[in-house]
Structure 1
Amino acid sequence: MAVRQTRLIGLLVAVTAGVVGVLVWSPTDTPAGDPVAERQPATSTTPTTRTTPATTDAPTSAPEPPPTPEASCARLIGKLSQRERVAQLLMVGVDPSSPDSAVQVAGDEGVGGIFIGGTDPTLLVDDRLDAVRKAAKVPIAISVDEEGGRVQRVEDLDGDVPSAREMAKSMTVAEVHKLARDRGAALHARGVTVDFAPVVDVTTQRDDDVIGDRAFGSDPAVVTRYAGAFARGLRESGVLPVIKHFPGHGRASGDSHTGAARTPALADLRRVDLLPYHRLLGSQRVAVMVGHMAVPGLTGNVPATLSPATYRLLRGEFSFDDIAITDDLGGMQAVSSRYPLPKAVLAALTAGADVAFWSSGEQHLDEVLDTLERAVADRTLPATRVTDSLTRVLRAKGACRR
């Protein structure tokens, strides 16, 4: 993600479809897919008691079995036009100074998520996001980029958070968990449902390098403990954590914000950079952000976000079946200098991403949607590929159960 100087970013809130009510992406450890009421902290749960009706001698018809998750999602998907379906797979940066941009993106265009970047806090105060949620036909995710240190969006509203490296140096794992839970609660109260954090890259870079102090350290075990605590705190507060940047930017040569970046070979990544993913993806529900690095032995010279091999690795070796989000396809030159935005979005979704993200605004949205509609019609983007990702997205937002 872009560092503090560029201030490009922010993400996800949910508004229900039809009469379903208002929901948010469900990052908690409640039964997967169960809706979480908007702005109700995930830690405040009410036990549900199931009762069995008393048996009588009168014949009764057998109750209709509950729908399977696939049928439940299929019914919702069946109500959407093809344009609405592909729109749900997009995360679009909006103007943070007014709700007008976000309302248009959510209501008129029906996108699945918005990103709130920059330093203007207008959209995050005085319940202005209510209008965005009300405009959406399907639940909408609202995201920000709140790591701490040089990548923060609400420090002027809710106080400063130290960088990941500083946390690991000066705080216990338990203290980082509490910090993330408190920060997540503040974000959740403002209407945010997704945080593009924590960074799980492993690095020895100096503080001001591309990853640098955004990472918890150079030891995969330390990164795993601290990033896991941070992610758990966010999730407990009702905010979906997005761990990044798969399969590892911390030891890459180059900066994907400004140009091409290349990681060590895949075999080397398996020994270091991928170790935190093995632990974190098996222990808690998170989303994963895929970075724009080329990976020798996996993607060749193609950015990982646009390579089918990346998603095969994530779904196969890591058995990951939750949301895979791209890094910024419009504001990072590892991709934007080589591909126009509509082509990059199409390539990412075709490769296996569930959500294609760009921060540069809705001015490109119609062109992107036109491109995706044509691609589904001519089978460049298979309808099954859209359905797979759309099902994951709707499940994560609580619109249909797992």
Structure 2
Amino acid sequence: MSLSEKVAQLFMVGTPVDAVNDTTLAAVRDDGVGGLFLHGRSTDDINATAALVDQFTGFASSELPLWVATDQEGGQVQVLSGPGFDDIPSAVEQGEMDADALRSAAATWGEQLARAGITMNLAPVADIVPNGSAATNPPIGALHRQYGGDEKAVAAGAGAFAAGMRDAGILPTLKHFPGLGYVTANTDFSTGVVDDVVTAGGPDMGVYRTLLGEGAAVVMMSTAIYANIDPELPAAFSSDVISLLRDDIGFNGVITTDDLSAASQVSAWPPAQRATMAIDAGVDLLLVSSDPSVYPEMRDAVLERAKDDPDFASKVDAAAHRIAAAKAE
């Protein structure tokens, strides 16, 4: 692969779930980007979603498969809910199910995604929200996205959901490392979001250690700042946080960011800098979901930095190899 082809694989670019974004289509057709993300909410039937996906996959120019992803957690975070897609219960409700029953249900939900042409689900949530604190945790607890209030419950629920997705041929994504269950603001809409609870040796790490031993998955980085690990940078830009995943837990698979295009938490950095900082820190896949218009600026910044900086180029190369290996698997 050429350097530009490798760089393109490091991006997952968004389109509205019911429309073709021209910038995203060009990214798929002309650059061969690694992934497509369907964002928003749709009550269209499964065939309409499949037809939308076909408009992109039909133009895919990379020799590697195009990852097609969405957020199909259940409850208040379910992008696809039209005819052909089940009404998926929230993670809180899923966590009350027997593990085998949840795995079977998730396999059915995954089969529905597969019929729509989707290959990756940015779920399940692996964040611990302590019992009794959900109302003060806007991004997870207030939306009933958590599987439980302790390490064991979250690992069991998220593990069953992820296993069901894999049974259906859908690659699950565990999020949001190293944990968003204690923050009191939402990184999508707020700046200066800091976690002062998560530690390198705490139960939040234990959840990932368990889940990543159970099968293939992508891991999504949070954009909160973790005072006990790296008090300066959001996790997606922090080599100290990412090293916990790589070195302490031993994860050698694909690491993705949460959305870098429009989240308030990362707005202090220009889009180009967001992209290069994340890759420099050890991220593989950059999610540019809500505002694809910033993709060209991000792509150009990564490409130019890789041309000028051999160390950075080696990180691009390693990320492209991890993505290629995950797609092959």
TM surpasses 0.5 = yes
Letter in 2 for 1:373: L
Which of 128, 149, 154 lines up with 2:75 in the alignment?
A: 149
Change in Cα spacing, 1:381 to 1:98, as seen in structure 2 (3 Å) is farther
Corresponding residue number in structure 2 for 1:243: 174
**TM-aligned CA deviation for residue 286 of structure 1:** 0.8
Contact 1:215 1:223 in 2 (8 A): yes
Partner of 1:362: 292
Seq. identity, % = 30
Structure 1 position 104 matched with structure 2 position 26? yes
Partner of 1:16: none
Conserved 8 A contact 1:96-1:121: no
What is the CA distance between 1:382 and its match in structure 2? 1.6
Letter in 1 for 2:90: S
1:371, CA displacement in angstroms?
A: 1.1
Counterparts of 1:201 and 1:216 in 2: how far apart (Å)? 8
- After superposition, the Cα gap between the structure-2 partners of 1:181 and 1:357, relative to the gap in structure 1 and judged at 3 Å, is same
Aligned residues: 317
1:333 corresponds to: 264
Which one has a bigger Cα radius of gyration? 1
Verify: 1:300 aligned to 2:231, yes or no. Answer: yes
Relative to structure 1, is the Cα distance of residues 121 and 129 closer, same or farther in structure 2, using a 3 angstrom cutoff? farther
Does residue 83 (structure 1) correspond to residue 4 (structure 2)? The answer is yes
Secondary structure of the structure 2 residue equivalent to 1:252: coil
SS at match of 2:320: helix
Among 141, 158, 162, the alignment partner of 1:231 is 162
Pairing partner for 1:284 from 210, 215, 225: 215
**In 2, distance between residues paired with 1:120 and 1:342?**
31
CA shift for structure 1 position 319: 0.7
Structure with the bigger percentage of helix:
2
- Name whichever structure is richer in strand by fraction: 2
Report the AA paired with residue 206 of structure 1: A
Q: How far is 1:95 from its partner? A: 3.2
- Deviation of 1:121 (Å): 5.8
- Following superposition, the deviation at residue 87 of structure 1 comes to 1.2
Gaps of 5+ in 1: 1-76
Q: CA deviation at 1:134?
A: 2.6
Q: Is 1:274 matched with 2:205?
A: yes
For structure 2, list consecutive stretches of 5 or more residues without a partner in the other structure: none
Residues 376 and 193 from structure 1, CA distance in 2 versus in 1: closer, same or farther, beyond 3 angstroms?
same
Q: Is the 8 A contact 1:234 1:241 kept in 2?
A: yes
- Contact 2:177 2:222 (8 Å CA) reproduced: yes
Deviation at 1:295, TM superposition (A): 1.2
Partner of 1:19: none
Match of 2:59 in 1: 135
The answer to whether the Cα contact below 8 Å between 1:148 and 1:161 also exists between their aligned partners in 2 is: yes
Matches within 5 A, 1:55-70: none
Q: Determine which structure has greater relative contact order: mean sequence separation of CA pairs < 8 Å that are 6+ residues apart, divided by chain length.
A: 1
Tell me the alpha carbon deviations over residues 13-57 of structure 1, each in whole angstroms, 9 at most, x when there is no partner. Answer: xxxxxxxxxxxxxxxxxxxxxxxxxxxxxxxxxxxxxxxxxxxxx
Whether the aligned pair in 1 keeps the contact of 2:198 and 2:204 (CA below 8 Å) is: no
Residue 198, structure 1, aligned to residue 129, structure 2: no
Q: Are residues 1:263 and 2:195 paired?
A: yes
| 1:166 counterpart residue number | 93
Q: Matches of 2:27 and 2:231 in 1, distance apart?
A: 35
Aligned residues of 2:305 and 2:313 also touching (Cα < 8 A): no
Whether the 8 Å CA contact 1:372–1:381 is kept in 2: the answer is no
- Partner of 1:244, secondary structure, is strand
SS in structure 2 opposite 1:386? helix
RMSD: 1.9
CA distance in 1, matches of 2:174, 2:99: 17
Residues 95 and 361 of structure 1 are in contact (CA less than 8 Å); yes or no, is this contact kept in structure 2? no
Q: Is 1:396 the counterpart of 2:322 in the alignment?
A: no
